[in-house]
């Protein structure tokens, strides 16, 4: 596998388009390695989706109370499995960033083993941090969604009231424009708040921070990243949905030719429900590495913009790793060492440095 040298991957402030282009180029260069890296958490999510699809289908089809309770509990279990898979994705994301930085710094090979070795070294801390990030994400989503729903309802009701005063087409235009504005503001506010914790796993595995220190570090780094984070998310979402549609259309035609109504999920046979549930995670396996690389590059870019991280990496490349000392810095390190450091040896009181 050919390596990306600093001349091929220059460390410079990236715009939204540059960020996506860089992530796609890295993805193409390390395609199968990145798919293997992203596959385990996505497979867990796929198992949860399959169980959820089957259990929900049986919940609406069964009339027995015992079966209804069993499938309802199975639905809760499947949701827990999916949440576990998404948590695992956040955990792996930190390891992927460390692998990328090690590649830029020391030209280390990009391998799935290196990513999971880094994850294993800080697994429980990463799990706790991922729980905090997921809780923050859910709280932000609920708050922003409620605000958007209220604004959307106000625009709709206001336009309905105006329909009796102004022409109907003008009221419809006002409703559409108001809805678009409220949606854009809601998206911006959501990414502004969620972006504050976007770099927690990266701060833990690249800089060696603790959980709470990593959260504070992520807050300090996340300045002006709303547009780039939104662009990366929308691009990945669009690409994932496009890949999903490419996979769903043949399945829908095959099911239709075999007497399956693709629009009636309650009547799907088991084989069709399982195939439908597998295709979504399959498209995620193909595109999740782009999202991981995008966040990793965004973390590096934030440090380049605010801390001169490119100079620090170039110095580390030319001069080698700095000796392990107990000196702390308000900024992050280029790449913290995973080796356990011995405690400092205490010096006796009144000792004199012998120069002879």
CA 192 – CA 198 distance, rounded (Å): 10
Query: Looking at the domain assignment, is residue 240 inside a domain?
Result: yes
Residue 176's φ and ψ, nearest 5 degrees, are -65, -45
The number of folded domains in the chain is 1
Query: Looking at the domain assignment, is residue 102 inside a domain?
Result: yes
CA 289 – CA 25 distance, rounded (Å): 12
Query: Looking at the domain assignment, is residue 211 inside a domain?
Result: yes
Task: Say if CB 144 and CB 189 are below 8 A apart.
Answer: yes
Query: Looking at the domain assignment, is residue 114 inside a domain?
Result: yes
Query: Looking at the domain assignment, is residue 343 inside a domain?
Result: no
pTM of the predicted protein model? 0.73
273: left (phi over 0), alpha (psi -120 to 50) or beta: alpha
CA 272 – CA 283 distance, rounded (Å): 17
**pLDDT at res. 140:** 92
**pLDDT at res. 348:** 41
Query: Looking at the domain assignment, is residue 198 inside a domain?
Result: yes
**Local confidence pLDDT in tens for the 356 residues of the chain:** 344 444 344 555 677 788 888 888 888 888 888 888 888 888 888 888 878 877 877 777 777 777 778 888 888 888 888 888 888 888 887 788 788 777 776 777 888 888 888 888 888 888 888 888 888 988 999 999 999 988 888 888 888 887 777 788 888 888 888 888 989 999 999 999 988 988 888 888 888 888 888 888 888 888 777 888 888 888 888 888 888 888 888 888 888 888 888 777 667 777 787 788 778 777 777 777 888 888 888 888 888 777 777 666 666 656 655 554 444 454 556 676 655 443 444 434 433 333 33
**pLDDT at res. 189:** 92
Query: Looking at the domain assignment, is residue 31 inside a domain?
Result: yes
- Structure-block tokens of residue 325: 């000392």
Number of Cβ within 10 Å of residue 190's Cβ equals 21
Range of the domain at 51: 16-318
**pLDDT at res. 190:** 92
Query: Looking at the domain assignment, is residue 336 inside a domain?
Result: no
């Amino acid at each position: 596998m050919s390596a990306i040298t600093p001349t091929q991957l220059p460390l410079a402030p990236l715009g939204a388009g540059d960020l996506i282009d860089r992530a796609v180029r890295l993805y193409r260069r390390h395609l199968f390695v990145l798919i293997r890296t992203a596959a385990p958490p996505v497979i867990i999510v796929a198992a949860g989706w399959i169980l959820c699809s089957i259990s929900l289908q049986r919940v609406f089809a069964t009339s027995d109370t015992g079966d209804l309770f069993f499938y309802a509990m199975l639905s809760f279990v499947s949701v827990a499995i999916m949440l576990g898979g998404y948590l695992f994705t956040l955990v792996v994301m930190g390891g992927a960033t460390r692998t990328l930085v090690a590649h830029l710094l020391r030209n280390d090979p990009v391998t799935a083993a290196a990513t999971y070795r880094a994850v294993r070294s800080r697994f429980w801390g990463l799990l706790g941090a991922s729980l905090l990030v997921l809780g923050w994400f859910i709280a932000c989503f609920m708050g922003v969604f409620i605000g958007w729903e209220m604004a959307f309802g106000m625009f709709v009701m206001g336009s309905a009231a105006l329909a009796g005063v102004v022409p109907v087409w003008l009221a419809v235009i006002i409703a559409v424009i108001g809805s678009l504005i409220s949606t854009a503001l809601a998206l911006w506010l959501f990414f502004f708040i969620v972006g504050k914790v976007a770099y927690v796993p990266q701060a833990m595995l690249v800089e060696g921070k603790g959980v709470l220190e990593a959260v504070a570090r992520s807050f300090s780094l996340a300045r002006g990243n709303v547009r780039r984070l939104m662009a990366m998310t929308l691009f990945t979402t669009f690409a994932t949905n496009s890949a999903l549609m490419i996979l769903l259309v043949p399945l829908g035609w095959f099911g239709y030719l075999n007497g399956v109504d693709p629009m009636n999920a309650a009547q799907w046979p088991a084989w069709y429900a399982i195939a439908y549930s597998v295709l979504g995670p399959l498209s995620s396996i193909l595109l999740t590495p782009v999202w991981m690389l995008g966040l990793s590059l965004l973390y590096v870019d934030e440090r380049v913009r605010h801390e001169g991280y490119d100079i620090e990496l170039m110095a580390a490349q030319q001069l080698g790793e700095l000796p392990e000392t107990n000196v702390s810095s308000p900024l992050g390190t280029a790449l913290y060492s995973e080796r356990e450091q011995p405690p400092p040896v205490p010096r006796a009181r009144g000792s004199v440095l012998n120069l002879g």
